[in-house]
Structure 1
């Protein structure tokens, strides 16, 4: 625990705080409702804080477990990478996560601005940003999709983005696929902005 706090303090705080907040709101429906993103209100200048708080709660145990496992495997690794590249690495990681969380929901707020019945929650947008930033640094890393199917990270990224686009238009579930897509795109763009040489690094991994 001490090693995590020293080497990856931002990821450690996000990880612990998200779990605690999610577990607490499982049994506190009032706070759960107040924390959920409500595009109808946000587009009218109300409950703007939910752009942040919606990323601190999750729908159920399965939702929380999946997101936190993904964050555990890639968030801590990414913060270590960034900290090794810059003295501002920890700050860069924090900005990536927070901005990824907020900006990934902008499309949703615009799309659902006239729907008072639409709500959204979860840290998936921010975690997608973290995952895709990591993929730029380590594109040939083998990922275990659903912890079973082996696949190189670069191929997963292509399939993931394609699925998000398809699901946003066709899926009839309660998942905010737009947040996944725009979070991933933000993660790529933000990383390239910080480290323009990452593009050549990405290409070199295949040479």
Structure 2
């Protein structure tokens, strides 16, 4: 993890340039952010442009750091063009799910690359579900006990937490965009690497379980 491919560099640069323009230009920020009312009036470009805006440098850094950590794994699995398909497909999927869940709230707005980055993370998990992930500020093991979490458990756990957060709505985080991004990462990765369905069928299907749960809950009126 963590190699800077030229494609990754270009995406980070695009996010940084676009975001810093938005930091210093309120009209620019307002024109390109995700805005339900504006999108309903036909400004569909906001569903992509908002993914390159951030609220502040810390928000930008966190998303770009996540991209830096997982991009190379996805590039290794599906190639550079495939990675771009995953990135932009996840970005759009995040926006679409946000639109779906908030279509009647004309005051709903959002910015950030987190949908795309979550899609890249979920793509990396789909490509390597048995790989272990470690928390940066914690030791990798305590004595003989390994603190790593297998990717598919991390992915499923995160998605279930996201459903919980979407239901509670107690913070200002765009959890629906994160979830939509993960759906995009899952779907586009399988389209690009369909052999995963035979190599890791059980785990690959398990990773779809939170997606099924979300839409069952939505249909039952519990979201």
Give the TM-score of the pair, scaled to structure 2. Answer: 0.78
Deviations 1:89-131 (A, max 9, x none): 2221111111211121112213322322210110111111111
Q: Which residue matches 1:38?
A: 35
Find the aligned partners of 1:133 and 1:202 in 2 and give their Cα distance.
14
Distance 1:167 1:187 in 2: 20
Structure 1 alignment gaps of length 5 or more? 83-88
The CA distance in 2 between the partners of 1:114 and 1:69, in whole Å, is: 33
- Which one of 49, 52, 60 corresponds to residue 53 of structure 1? 49
Whole-angstrom distance in 2 between the partners of 1:160 and 1:112? 21
Written as runs of structure 1 = structure 2, the 5 A alignment for 1:57-136 is: 57-82=53-78, 89-136=79-126
Match of residue 21 from structure 2: 24
Q: Tell me what 2:172 maps to.
A: 174
Distance 1:121 1:146 in 2: 26
Residue 189 in 1 paired to residue 182 in 2? Answer: no
Q: For 1:102 and 1:204, how far apart are their aligned partners in 2?
A: 27
Distance in 1 separating the partners of 2:202 and 2:163? 28
CA RMSD of aligned residues (A): 2.1
- Give aligned pairs, total: 193
**Segment of structure 1 superposing worse, 35-44 or 193-202:** 193-202
State the alpha-carbon separation in 1 of the partners of residues 136 and 18 from structure 2: 25
CA displacement, residues 43-85 of structure 1 (integer Å, 9 cap, x when unaligned): 232x211111101011122221211111001013311332xxx
> Hey, what does 2:12 align to over in structure 1?
15
Structure 1 counterpart of 2:197: 199
* Cα separation, 1, equivalents of 2:202 and 2:33: 42
Q: Residue 109 of structure 2 aligns to a residue in which SS?
A: coil
Kindly report structure 1 stretches of 4+ aligned residues shifted beyond 4 Å: none
